[in-house]
Amino acid sequence: MTDCLFCKIASGEAPSEMVYQDDLVVAFKDIQPAAPIHLLVIPRKHIKSLAEVELEDQELLGHLLLVVKKLAIENDINEKGYKTIINTGTDGGQIIDHLHVHLLGGEKVNKLV
């Protein structure tokens, strides 16, 4: 998808503060953080939202969540806890039409998003 910002970030065409990448997913710092640690973890494959995942995506989704856990450990938020958010669709608060997981931590996140 040529006009998708997150596809451009995943391919290196758009700037980001990348913190993780492999063949299936990338993770980068949110440009408007809502917590001391606020990362976005996205699949390289363009999937518009969680509402559009297919059975063939189940391995990718499992990998995506394992990367979220890995990043929580690496950012020292695994023990105290963290919040993950997947906004789906306009009414769900999704702004960019590319599936992404918000990883938030570093303080109590009950009050955040």
Closest CA to 6 of 91, 95, 72: 95
Token pair for 68: 């979220």
Q: Which tokens sit at 105?
A: 């931590």
Element spanning 19, H or E = strand 18-21
100 included as an active-site residue: yes
Catalytic residue among 38, 46, 98, 100: 100
Instruction: Report residue 4 as tokens.
Output: 């998708």
Q: How would you class 83 by CB atoms within 10 Å of its CB: exposed for 0-12, middle for 13-18, buried for 19 or more?
A: middle
- Active-site annotation, residues: 100
